[in-house]
Amino acid sequence: MFKRSPSLTEQVKSHLKKRIINDTFESGRIPAETDLAAELKVSRNTIRDALSRLEAEGTIFRKQGAGTFVNKAGLLVKTRLEEIVSYETMIREYGYTPTVHLISTEETASDPQLEAELNLKPGAHLLVIRKLFMADDKPVIFTLTTIPTEIIQLAYTPDDIRAPITDFLRRFCNHEFGYYLSEIVPLISPNWLAKKLDLPQSQTAILSFEEIAYNKNNDPVAKACSYFNNNLLHLRLIRRPGH
Amino acid sequence: MFKRSPSLTEQVKSHLKKRIINDTFESGRIPAETDLAAELKVSRNTIRDALSRLEAEGTIFRKQGAGTFVNKAGLLVKTRLEEIVSYETMIREYGYTPTVHLISTEETASDPQLEAELNLKPGAHLLVIRKLFMADDKPVIFTLTTIPTEIIQLAYTPDDIRAPITDFLRRFCNHEFGYYLSEIVPLISPNWLAKKLDLPQSQTAILSFEEIAYNKNNDPVAKACSYFNNNLLHLRLIRRPGH
DNA sequence: CAGTGGTCTAGACCACGGG
DNA sequence: CCGTGGTCTAGACCACTGG
pLDDT band at B120 (very low <50, low <70, confident <90, very high): very high
- Nearest in space to A96 (alpha carbons), one of A54, A138, A49: A138
* Span between the terminal Cα atoms of chain B, in Å: 35
Q: Any CB–CB contact under 8 A between A237 and chain B?
A: yes
* B159-205 pLDDT tens trace: 999 999 999 999 999 999 999 999 999 999 999 999 999 998 788 99
A233 phi/psi in degrees, rounded to 5: -110, 145
Q: What is the mean pLDDT of chain B?
A: 94
Contact between chains at A77 and B207 (C-beta distance less than 8 A): no
Q: Is the CB of A64 under 7 A from strand D?
A: yes
Of all residues in chain B, the percent with pLDDT exceeding 70 is 100
Query: How many whole angstroms separate alpha carbon B53 and alpha carbon B57?
Result: 6
Cis peptide before A241 (omega within 30 of 0): no
Q: Is the CB of A34 under 7 A from strand D?
A: yes
Query: How many whole angstroms separate alpha carbon B234 and alpha carbon A144?
Result: 21
**B50: pLDDT strictly greater than 90:** yes
pLDDT value of position B35: 97
pLDDT value of position A124: 94
pLDDT value of position A62: 97
CA of A176, C1' of D16: distance in angstroms: 14
pLDDT value of position A199: 92
Q: Which residue has the higher pLDDT, B148 or A23?
A: B148
pLDDT value of position B167: 94
pLDDT value of position B242: 84
pLDDT value of position B62: 97
Query: How many whole angstroms separate alpha carbon B60 and alpha carbon A99?
Result: 37
Q: Which residue has the higher pLDDT, A242 or A88?
A: A88
A contact test, residue of B10, B29, B64, B218 with most A CBs within 10 A: B218
Name every chain B residue with its beta carbon within 8 A of the beta carbon of A242.
57, 83-85
pLDDT value of position A78: 87
Section A107-126 average pLDDT: 94
Section A164-193 average pLDDT: 95
Let me know: does A115 contact A121? Beta carbons within 8 Å.
yes
Contact between chains at B242 and A83 (C-beta distance less than 8 A): yes
**B1: pLDDT strictly greater than 90:** no
- SS3 for B160? helix
Q: What is the DSSP string of A197-222?
A: HT--SS--EEEEEEEEEEETTS-EEE
Q: Is the CB of B68 under 7 A from strand D?
A: no
Instruction: Report which of residues 147-206 in chain B place their beta carbon less than 7 angstroms from any atom of strand D.
Output: none
pLDDT value of position A26: 74
Section A69-80 average pLDDT: 91
Section A71-88 average pLDDT: 92
**A76: pLDDT strictly greater than 80:** yes
Q: Which residue has the higher pLDDT, B27 or B12?
A: B12
Nearest CA in chain A to B56: A179
pLDDT value of position B31: 97
Contact between chains at A61 and B218 (C-beta distance less than 8 A): yes
pLDDT value of position B149: 95
**A181: pLDDT strictly greater than 80:** yes
B174-209 burial by CB neighbour count: b if 16+ within 10 A, else e? ebebbbbbbbbbbeebeeebbebbebeeeebbbbbb
Which residues are within 7 Å of strand C by their Cβ atom?
A 7-9, 41-46, 49, 63-66; B 4, 30-35, 44-45, 48, 51, 62-68
B 166-225 residues with CB < 8 A to A? 166, 177-188, 203-207, 211, 216-218, 220
* A136-173 pLDDT tens trace: 999 999 999 999 999 999 999 999 999 999 999 999 99
Q: Which residue has the higher pLDDT, B27 or B22?
A: B22
Let me know: does A207 contact B184? Beta carbons within 8 Å.
yes
Q: How do beta strands A205-215 and A177-188 pair?
A: antiparallel
Q: Is the CB of B226 under 7 A from strand D?
A: no
Let me know: does B51 contact B61? Beta carbons within 8 Å.
no
Section B8-18 average pLDDT: 96
Section A183-202 average pLDDT: 93
Name every chain A residue with its beta carbon within 8 A of the beta carbon of B239.
81-84, 179-180, 182, 211
pLDDT value of position B194: 95
**B55: pLDDT strictly greater than 90:** yes
pLDDT value of position A202: 81
Q: Which helix (H) or strand (E) holds A91?
A: helix A87-93
